[in-house]
């Protein structure tokens, strides 16, 4: 079967090739509804498919970007990917999603693969383990934006949560409910992954603001598979914590598993707040207090930053790190009638 061309569509619709091109690029400003309908019907009648390779060569763009997430199992990652895809779709771009599993080698392979495929830019949740490669990309003016995490020495634009403020919201909630022995549990900080480090910093700052002591025994970091062990350590202390801040959604799940296994009651035996809102929080029993990130707003900023780089549009903003405020979703796990 003969492959239809843009010229065939133009002849069938009785318009110029440039008008068909404008239609395909969704530039409808000077096009009547009748013309749009005629072109649409011609495309369907001829089973026309745009030649993506030819379009890429002509416009020197593949209209494809990469998104490398550190761990796709985080609910926040899923929310961000959805919002990024939706925004890029409106701009005529496709996305390729890669999951690095927080492994620097895997992340490096994905970066090199995406660049070999000549994507127009990449949004990365950086593992922090490929500093040389990040700097090389920046030096080559390859469009790149960091999401959720930042690496100060790279000067790469980063979009992330105000992690200090997020921890403060949780500590404030606990303190206002009368809790004074407050612990924080997060995943490993071996590579100084910024959200984890900053959430601990924010936790410490908030405790100091409330005049509460900072007890190192209440600060626990661990690989996910060892969370049960660090929780055992917490609950075996002479003065076990009254409240736990789970610093991300996957930690929250592990804490809830532990609480169920130990037949503890929330919040009577242990109060709980999780950073990252999760789908089950509002119908769990009791309902879990969470702190949510503005995923859509963060995604939109990242997309705009990347598009500005792709289009070589000068930036009038000297900001390198864009921090957005968190929101407390106060439910039932943070307080009870004491």
Q: What is the mean pLDDT of residues 212-230?
A: 95
Architecture of domain 163-293: 3-Layer(aba) Sandwich (3.40)
Q: Over the chain, what is the mean pLDDT? A: 91
Report the C-alpha gap between 92 and 24 in whole angstroms: 10
- pLDDT on residue 271: 97
Assess if CATH 1.10.150.110 describes domain 6-50. Answer: no
Query: Rounded CA gap, 236 and 36, in Å?
Result: 71
What is the per-residue pLDDT for 316? 58
CA–CA gap between residue 199 and residue 184 (Å, rounded): 9
Q: Which residues of 259-298 are buried (b: 16+ CB within 10 A; e: fewer)?
A: beeeeeebbeebbbbbbbbbeebeeeeebbbbbbbbbeeb
pLDDT at 318: 61
pLDDT tops 90 at residue 106: yes
Of 136, 74, 70, give the one whose Cα is nearest residue 104: 70
In this predicted structure, the answer to whether residue 48 has a pLDDT above a threshold of 90 is no
| Mean pLDDT for the stretch of residues 37-62 | 75
Give which of 93, 133, 89 is closest to 115, Cα–Cα. 133
pLDDT of 292 higher than 50: yes
- In this model, does residue 96 exceed pLDDT 90? yes
The answer on pLDDT for 57 being more than 50 is no
Q: Is the Cα torsion angle 321, 325, 331, 332 positive or negative in sign?
A: positive
Read off the pLDDT of residues 246-261 as tens digits, 9 standing for 90 and up. 999 999 999 999 999 9
Asked whether the domain spanning 163-293 has the same topology as the one spanning 62-161+295-324, the reply is: yes
pLDDT greater than 80 at residue 336: no
Dihedral sign from CA coordinates of 83, 88, 93, 95: negative
In this prediction, residues 148-157 reach a mean pLDDT of: 88
pLDDT value at position 23? 86
pLDDT tens column, 222-249: 999 999 999 999 999 999 999 999 999 9
Q: How many CB atoms lie within 10 A of CB 189?
A: 16
The pLDDT assigned to 188 comes to 82
Mean pLDDT for 321-337 is 89
pLDDT score at 263: 96
% pLDDT > 70, the chain: 94
Q: pLDDT exceeding 90 applies to what percent of the chain? A: 72
pLDDT at 249 (0 to 100): 94
Over 80: is that where the pLDDT of 199 sits? yes
Q: How confident is the model at residue 194 (pLDDT cuts 50, 70, 90)?
A: confident
pLDDT digits (tens, 9 = 90+) for 114-128: 999 999 999 999 998
- Residue 36: Cβ-neighbour burial (10 angstroms; 0-12, 13-18, 19+): middle
β-strand partners of 69? 99
pLDDT beyond 80 at 315: no
Q: In the chain, where are the structural domains located? A: 6-50, 62-161+295-324, 163-293
Q: Where are the beta strands (DSSP E) in 141-223?
A: 144-147, 158-161, 182-187, 219-222
CATH superfamily of 62-161+295-324: Response regulator (3.40.50.2300)
The DSSP code sequence of 263-286 is T--TTTT-EEEEES--TTTTTSSS
Instruction: Give the pLDDT confidence score for residue 338 in this predicted structure.
Output: 43
The burial class, CB within 10 Å (0-12 / 13-18 / 19+), for 31 is middle
Judged against a pLDDT cut of 60, whether residue 337 lies above it is answered with no
């Amino acid at each position: 079967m003969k492959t239809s061309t843009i010229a065939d569509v133009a002849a069938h619709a009785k318009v110029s090739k440039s008008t068909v091109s404008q239609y395909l690029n969704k530039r409808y400003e000077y096009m009547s509804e009748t013309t749009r309908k005629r072109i649409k019907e011609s495309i369907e009648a001829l089973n026309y498919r745009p030649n993506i390779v030819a379009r890429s060569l002509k416009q020197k763009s593949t209209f494809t970007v990469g998104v490398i997430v550190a761990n796709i199992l985080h609910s926040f990652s899923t929310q961000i990917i959805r919002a990024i895809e939706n925004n890029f779709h409106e701009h005529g771009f496709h996305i390729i999603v890669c999951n690095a599993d927080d492994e620097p080698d895997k992340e490096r392979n994905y970066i090199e693969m995406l660049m070999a495929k000549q994507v127009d830019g990449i949004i990365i949740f950086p593992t922090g383990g490929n500093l040389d490669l990040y700097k090389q990309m920046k030096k080559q003016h390859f469009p790149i934006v960091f999401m959720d995490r930042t690496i100060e020495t790279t000067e790469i634009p980063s979009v992330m949560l105000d992690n200090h403020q997020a921890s403060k919201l949780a500590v404030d909630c606990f303190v206002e409910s009368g809790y004074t022995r407050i612990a924080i549990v997060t995943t490993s900080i071996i590579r100084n992954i910024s959200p984890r480090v900053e959430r601990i910093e924010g936790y410490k700052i908030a405790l100091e603001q409330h005049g509460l002591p900072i007890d190192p025994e209440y600060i626990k970091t661990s690989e996910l598979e060892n969370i049960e062990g660090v929780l055992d350590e917490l609950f075996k202390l002479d003065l076990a914590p009254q409240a736990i801040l789970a610093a991300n959604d996957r930690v929250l799940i592990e804490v809830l598993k532990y609480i169920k296994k130990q037949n503890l009651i929330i919040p009577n035996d242990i109060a709980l707040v999780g950073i990252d809102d999760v789908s089950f929080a509002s119908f769990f029993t009791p309902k879990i207090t969470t702190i949510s990130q503005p995923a859509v707003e963060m995604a939109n900023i990242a997309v705009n930053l990347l598009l500005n780089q792709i289009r070589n549009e000068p930036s009038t903003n000297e900001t390198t790190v864009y921090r957005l405020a968190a929101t407390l979703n106060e439910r039932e796990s943070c307080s009870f009638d004491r």
